């Protein structure tokens, strides 16, 4: 893989916690970078960045052959995802010289409600950016990274969290993605904390005791069970599968992958104290 593709790939993986494949090919005399998420989503969409004679960058997104479920989502989006999608589209529109959105092969105005009333069978988005100054390699990479992130975000905005969770390269990576999603989900968090309280279950640190008012109800939540350990279908039980932990203990739990078990970390703390005294 060339250096620029590698750089785009790394950036996207860090940003979205999803594995990507990036490849470059020459079309006439201009490079074209093709970006697809690996596995499941790879069959849903592809983002292409063309550099035309070094003066024009065209970014296109086009659904792939198994995009039916994605288009189904678009035809019945909930308000939250639709808003997020439009916010991304607006951001892209603002940053580029020309923004084109095609629904069923026709140019469409994405900001009008009529677009969403029509049934989508296909869609394509193209943003063109005129590059006035000649770019050095670093500028070129930064520009491509920025656009790749925006276009991938636009599509991920339409998908449900569970679908994004199915993206991992390996079982381990996939579990990690899912695990972090669970920990960040405010609905799970709420239930875990109302049942388990706000004190760290590892070291018993209590933020309100130490910091007073500003520490009130401050704590992280950690998802204990590895998803893969359950095999197949997994339904999270936020009360038993998640625990409140302080950020220090949380960071230590994630020093290993899969994460260290809470009992083991408690034992490490006890042993370490013993060694010091
Ligand atoms: Zn702690
Ligand atoms: Zn955690």
pLDDT tens per residue across span 62-112:
766 666 666 776 666 677 677 777 777 887 888 888 888 888 888 888 777
Q: Which sign does the torsion angle of CA 17, 21, 23, 27 carry? A: negative
CA of 94 to the centre of ligand 1 (A): 44
| CA dist., res. 72 & res. 163, Å (int) | 13
Ligand positioned closest to the Cα atom of 249: 1
| CA dist., res. 202 & res. 246, Å (int) | 8
CA of 223 to the centre of ligand 2 (A): 5
pLDDT digits (tens, 9 = 90+) for 115-147: 777 777 777 888 888 887 778 888 888 888 888
| CA dist., res. 27 & res. 33, Å (int) | 10
CA of 66 to the centre of ligand 2 (A): 33
* Under 8 Å between Cβ of 49 and 57: yes
The edge-to-edge listing of strands for the beta sheet with 98-103 is 20-27, 30-37, 45-52, 56-63, 123-130, 98-103, 106-107
Among 49, 77, 42, which Cα is nearest to 63's?
42
| pTM for the full predicted model | 0.58
CA of 271 to the centre of ligand 1 (A): 15
CA of 220 to the centre of ligand 1 (A): 10
Ligand positioned closest to the Cα atom of 266: 1
CA of 202 to the centre of ligand 2 (A): 12
What tokens appear for 85 in the block? 């999608």
């Amino acid at each position: 893989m060339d250096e620029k593709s590698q750089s785009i790939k790394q950036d996207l993986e860090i940003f979205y916690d999803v594995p990507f494949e990036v490849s470059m090919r020459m079309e006439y005399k201009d490079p074209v970078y093709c970006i697809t998420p690996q596995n499941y989503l790879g069959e849903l969409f592809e983002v292409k960045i063309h550099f035309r004679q070094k003066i024009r960058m065209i970014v296109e997104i086009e659904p792939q052959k198994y995009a039916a479920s994605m288009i189904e989502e678009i035809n019945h989006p909930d308000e939250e995802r639709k808003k997020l999608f439009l916010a991304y589209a607006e951001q892209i529109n603002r940053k580029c010289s020309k923004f084109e959105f095609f629904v069923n092969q026709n140019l469409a105005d994405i900001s009008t409600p009529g677009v969403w009333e029509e049934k989508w069978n296909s869609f394509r988005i193209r943003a063109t950016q005129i590059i006035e100054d000649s770019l050095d390699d670093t500028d070129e990479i930064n520009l491509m990274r920025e656009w790749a992130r925006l276009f991938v975000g636009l599509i991920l905005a339409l998908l449900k969290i569970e679908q994004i969770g199915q993206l991992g390269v390996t079982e381990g990576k996939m579990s990690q993605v899912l695990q972090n999603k669970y920990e960040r989900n405010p609905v799970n968090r709420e239930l875990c904390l109302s049942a388990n309280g706000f004190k760290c279950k590892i070291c018993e640190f209590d933020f309100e005791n130490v910091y007073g008012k500003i520490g009130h109800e401050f704590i992280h939540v950690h998802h204990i069970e590895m998803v893969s350990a359950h095999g197949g279908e997994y339904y999270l039980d936020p009360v038993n599968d998640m625990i409140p932990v302080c950020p220090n203990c949380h960071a230590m739990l994630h020093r290993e992958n899969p994460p260290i078990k809470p009992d083991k970390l408690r034992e490490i703390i006890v042993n370490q104290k013993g060694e010091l005294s």
